[in-house]
Structure 1
């Protein structure tokens, strides 16, 4: 986390630290992102506690001491302030208000658990009453206006899909760049260029969520299935063109949203580069740590962001793209869904 007053407040509060431990455990299957998810939740709770302290003029207050029934309305007001409610009673960050609702319930439940273990009837009653107030009033005072704001934004948002010519320009550029990429003398610059081009190409080709693609591990790639091994009964129903595609592509299954497996097709032009990226000797020369298990590794223990790779490729094409701001991972998936609907 960023080192500031919010971080210090969160890390020194017993209840907020316990909340962080819960978020780490809840996201145990998402090792790549759970640190970021937990950090965000801790900082959100820390910002709320700092604001409550300021309103109460009690700078040493803990989250446990402020989660009491008589402070409920103050906590509602502070939550709306954290989410930047304007004069028109519209929240600037409505999703944060919804998240805080869930986390305040967790924090009160943690307080209840600690009080039961310590046989502290006073704290137990405070936590029980606060949780009851959350059930009775929070949805009306915070959750409902937050969801209404989100729904209005979705409705009023311009729904602009990527231009077909822009997608064609991107695909052509990446295919040619991957085919001509010189991998004979690996170094840090070459390795990063290989990561950027391959990530962007797979993102455009498969229309996957960036986080899913980033989580591709080397062992998962090396154990991938050959599409030529597809069930014989299925192959008999394929056209000649589809059978040819089977011979030029590989298939790898990666961890998707909620932990389910999702397929990623590996087109021919990326296969050579992926072999390069998974080679231990080349990774060493690229400055990648031996313990980093991810295909698209950065020089620390994480990964290069797929969205950043796509943005860099867009910048290289510059004026050749008509509407570069429309080319986002979410819009690419919507584009695919729209085309599929038109063809049905």
Structure 2
């Protein structure tokens, strides 16, 4: 950590250090999680520093985990996250939401210590503090924090990468791949190895629409020990000739995804050749033997992988794309999941796509979809215009089959007199029926 007053508070607080130790035991072997652990510890330390200014009895985080100090905790959280009492909105709503989880975690740690020490008074205080969080945190913090987050997303455009920009990036990467492969085969050098490594990584992200970290942290051992067994004959016979050709030209490697999910990465023939060339020439360019990653950092002794976002951004800027800022791994994933709706996929096909993307099918339906403005302006408006011009002529049709006339004057002139008379007759009949029931 950067050494400051927050770091001093972390190092002097046993309960905050205990939280860091437990988080490190759970995910500390993954280097990218170490930043998350550090941030959680610093958030709690900042909370303690703010609470000290409000109450002189507060020295450590343990002093806050008691029912009598719950109001102090609420006020400290609001002050720390910039709560505006006039608008009931937070300047930093995400921190306000995350602090609840951190406080519950340290409460459980303190509760475990009380059980070990057979301290019933401490155990009871902690249980009452947790109960107060369950009862009142939503009212005082979570509701307004979530409102703030939601309102920030209103009227924000959902921008997806252009298909033409993606094609330009693919062509640019293909040219770089051919040039650097030839250079690395003729005379291995650090420059050509590094360039081919970044090009190959970008091609994998682009082809699979994978999260950047999932591909960049792929290990040599994982690639070499992939499942190489051929497909069973009876399964192979059920495939079409085109599907058989795809199975012959692609290889599949399973890697660790988000939340420990197993996610596949598909390698086209040219990318597979590039990866095998990178592995073969590692020693020639002095990659550290102990570095486990395929896309390793180049300087000797490094145990890290290359920064994947830098590569994608650099090549997107250089390929001549009209909007290179939209070519990111997140937007590429949203692009394939959103555009797939235009194909009218069946339920089981959507399940397969969601599994490949590495997320739950409900997440796919809730977040990876056509933008709401598109749905409402291009789809739902069909029904609204049809209601204005008379809906009877569209009876039995689906939403896609409804093509109303959007000019209200033409709707009146173009309407079929028989349809108008039919609607009037139906309306009169319903009105009379309603009056009979009322009588």
Q: Alignment partner of 2:265: what SS?
A: strand
In the TM superposition, residue 313 of structure 1 has moved relative to its aligned partner by 1.3
Over the aligned positions, Cα root-mean-square deviation in angstroms equals 2.4
Say whether 1:74 aligns with 2:75: no
User: How many residues in Structure 1 have an aligned counterpart in Structure 2?
Assistant: 337
Structure 1: distance between partners of 2:189 and 2:96: 46
| Aligned partners of 1:108 and 1:127 also within 8 Å | yes
| TM-score with structure 2 setting the length | 0.70
In the TM superposition, residue 291 of structure 1 has moved relative to its aligned partner by 2.1
Structure 2: distance between partners of 1:118 and 1:183: 64
Partner residue, 2:328: 328
Q: Any unmatched runs of 5+ in structure 2?
A: 345-439
Structure 1: distance between partners of 2:194 and 2:43: 33
More divergent stretch after superposition (140-149 vs 102-111): 140-149
Partner residue, 1:224: 226
Q: 1:188 to 1:9 in 2, by over 3 A?
A: farther
Partner residue, 1:302: 304
The C-alpha deviation readout for 1:200-249, integer Å capped at 9, x for no partner, is: 111110001122222311111012235x9233334334343333332322
Q: 1:68 to 1:257 in 2, by over 3 A?
A: same
Q: 1:43 to 1:74 in 2, by over 3 A?
A: same
| Aligned partners of 1:179 and 1:269 also within 8 Å | no
Partner residue, 1:65: 63
Structure 1: distance between partners of 2:237 and 2:154: 45
Partner residue, 1:170: 169
Say whether 1:235 aligns with 2:236: yes
Partner residue, 1:31: 30
Structure 1: distance between partners of 2:231 and 2:11: 52
Structure 2: distance between partners of 1:236 and 1:315: 45
Q: Any unmatched runs of 5+ in structure 1?
A: none
Q: Alignment partner of 1:238: what SS?
A: coil
Q: 1:152 to 1:234 in 2, by over 3 A?
A: farther
Q: Which has the higher contact order (CA 8 A, sep 6+)?
A: 1
Superposed counterparts of 1:1-344, under 5 Å: 1-27=1-27, 31-56=30-55, 61-86=59-84, 88-181=87-180, 182-184=183-185, 185-226=187-228, 229-279=230-280, 282-298=281-297, 299=299, 300-317=302-319, 320-344=320-344
Larger CA Rg, structure 1 vs 2: 2
More divergent stretch after superposition (69-78 vs 49-58): 49-58
| TM-score with structure 1 setting the length | 0.88
| Aligned partners of 1:112 and 1:127 also within 8 Å | yes
